[in-house]
Amino acid sequence: MSIFGVLNQMAPKELKIYSLHEMKNKYIGKIGIAIREEYECKLRIEIIELKKKVRARASARHPSPSPPSRKSEKEFSRPTKTNVWQDTPHHSPPSPP
Condensed to tens digits (0 to 9), the pLDDT of residues 30-41 reads 999 999 999 999
pTM (2 d.p.):
0.46
C-alpha angle 69/75/76, rounded to 5°? 100
Return the CA Rg of the chain.
Answer: 36
How far apart are the C-alpha atoms of 40 and 62, rounded to whole Å?
33
How far apart are the C-alpha atoms of 34 and 40, rounded to whole Å?
10
Condensed to tens digits (0 to 9), the pLDDT of residues 52-82 reads 999 999 888 877 666 666 666 656 666 666 6
